[in-house]
Chain A
Amino acid sequence: MKKLTGLITTVAMATGLFASAAAAEDVRIALVVKALGIGFFEAAAKGAEEAASELGDVEIIYTGPTDTTAEGQIEVINSLIAQNVDAIAVSANDTDALVPTLKKAMQRGITVISWDSGVAEDGRQAHLNPSSNALIGNMIVKLAADHLPDGGDVAVLSATTTSTNQNIWIEEMTKVLPNYPGINVVGTVYGDDLADKSYREAQGLMQSYPDLDAIIAPTSVGIVAAAQAVADAGKIGEVNVTGLGLPSEMAGAIESGASKSFAIWNPIDLGYSATMIAYNLATEKATAEPGASIPMGRMGELTLDETNSGAMADPFVYDSSNIEDFKSIF
């Protein structure tokens, strides 16, 4: 019998360790991420805590499965439903598989929103996109134009010819091009999101257009490869590489000067905004319906479209002034 008591005591101690006292009156908002231990989401949790301390009466439950599986997220969401949290803000591993569980959450009066990676419309009340195609299209050309006050030749290094996202962004960029007089897009090449092919395509661009001033790569693979190609060709200072990239991968290019700046969403702002929206919906300070505006604290307001989703902001610009802070995050 002794061994049994021993075992039970161990279990008791282990379980006791995790017991935490929760203040009952607080608005409890669960930030459910794709998986724990990912820098991007840890940063989002930081933003959520920032929003919570600004709001005061909010308790953040930052949680998620160990692996990026829909089944794992469902288990997590089930336990959140059981705790009767006030709101669930989820970055989904699967657009469809979470819907039945999230519907159940909403039936029990829990506010459900998705952010970053959305769930299908009937599984959430609102969806927060980090940015919009139009904002991204504008941002990538603006990044190039900001460093070319007298205009110049720029080329686009994209992913594949069939990449839906990249094609839409380039299309949106073309739409706003008249707003940037003097900026001349000389060509678009495709690196297929492969490091070596993107590198060769970037080399090719510099040979075909000797007066090239900037390469815009709206892909995290292409932008790194292009920066490397520029550095290897000794054209740092002549050709500026910009577009969409990850701070951790681009830190070197920013330091060497191959890239003056680039953009991507800021996960801290994203977690902050998701929390603000969840709070305002849960406390009925705002309603989720097409055309509605939901306040997001320092990030302004989210305007919902006909699918109840909205865009947070322009992509966040990273340059030598802030790259140090973000390169360890994601």
Chain B
Amino acid sequence: MTMVDHIKTRVIPDRLTTPAERILKSWEALLLLVAIGIFILNSFASPYFLNAWNLSDATFNFTEKAMIAFAMALLIIAGEIDLSVASIIALASTVMGLVMQAGFGTPVIVLAGLVTGLMCGVFNGVLVTRFNLPSIVVTIGTMSLFRGLSYIVLGDGAFRGYPSDFAWFGQGYAFWVISVEMVIFALLAVIYGVILHKTNFGRAVYAVGNNATAAMFSGIRVGRVKLTLFMLTGLMSGLAAVCLTSRLGSTRPSIASGMELEVVTMVVLGGVNILGGSGTIPGVVIAAFVMGLVTFGLGLLNVPGIVMSIFIGALLIGVIALPRLFAKLKGGK
């Protein structure tokens, strides 16, 4: 063996870990294992779990929330948050009801829901970016405002009597057991995945979340990025309003109450840093399934809702705290 051979074999690596290794050690891998674990446990725990129609029903537990969670993930990565999403649903649903009562058909009703959501997003976004207000304060305010408007219109009444073809969005099936909502969810997952991970805009979102000042000096229009994200979140809330209203077949001002926290839980469980700067769309997708599977699996065992909330809370803390705890222990050795 010569000296030359020896030198030849010494390669300086591009990266310290291989891509495969990085994926295996990632948050998403951990979460996926949890999801698979829950799936297996559920199929043992209840004889009703492994049934295509039942699993299809179970997806409704998370599809609407996940639609908003995708946009919310981008918003949180950029260092902002929108707590008014559930109230946007209420307002969008109310506007849809008004449009329906005025005699318009399904296309106009759907458009009205989407536009209302978008406008609410613009309102939030302008307040945050133009007036430099903290988004958590602005959206706590609009949370009461949007739902309040809905209560003014409806009081303790309800809109009912949506056209029968409107039911397609929330009750229809694309093919076999795959619901329309599930298809929308899957399409959005791909779209948001591409936006965040494959476009300049996606890089800008991370940059803004990590250091808005540095981002600004690198030529990123920080305000515009944030405004766009608020508009997207509003639009997604409008879309969720279309699906939920269609599924319920009616509108009440209390619709979707408390959903904002479930959306944020989904995003955080998906590995998005609540302080901004990091997170992935695949993580949010898996988190959506984890939450859906847990609530459905426990529901099949007739576990009371409050125990379910405790379980989700424990899961959230566990999945977030455990890796950090172990990292600390390893570092301490």
Contacts and interface: CB of A to CB of B under 8 A. Distances in A.
B312 to A, nearest CB: 11
Nearest to A123: B249
Majority secondary structure of chain A interface residues (helix, strand, loop or mixed): helix
A12 interface: yes
A94 B158 contact: yes
Contacts of B301: 15, 18-20
Interface in A68-103: 69-72, 74-76, 78-79, 81-84, 94-97, 99-100
B254 A95 contact: no
A310 B2 CA distance: 99
B34 A8 contact: yes
B299 interface: yes
Interface stretch (A57-65, A151-159, A190-198): A57-65
Interface stretch (B52-60, B121-129, B147-155, B189-197): B52-60
A37 interface: yes
Given A4-B30, A65-B305, A82-B51, A11 B247 contact: no
Contacts of B299: 75-76, 78-79, 82
Contacts of B280: none
Given A63-B304, A69-B257, A11 B34 contact: yes
Interface residues of B, number: 57
Interface in B279-302: 295-302
Contacts of B302: 20, 61, 63, 79, 83
A3 B323 contact: yes
Contact of B60 (A61, A69, A76, A78): A78
Interface stretch (B38-46, B180-188, B226-234): B38-46
B57 A67 contact: no
Interface string A95-128: 1110110000000000000000000100000000
B309 to A, nearest CB: 6
B244 interface: yes
B256 to A, nearest CB: 7
A66 interface: yes
Contacts of B300: 79, 82-83
A302 B270 CA distance: 52
A4 B167 contact: no
Nearest to B310: A14
Given A7-B34, A82-B51, A76 B318 contact: no
A11 B46 CA distance: 15
A37 B307 CA distance: 12
Contacts of B256: 71
A19 B57 CA distance: 21
Given A15-B38, A75-B61, A100-B167, 9 more contacts: A8-B34, A15-B298, A19-B46, A19-B301, A71-B259, A79-B296, A82-B53, A83-B302, A120-B160
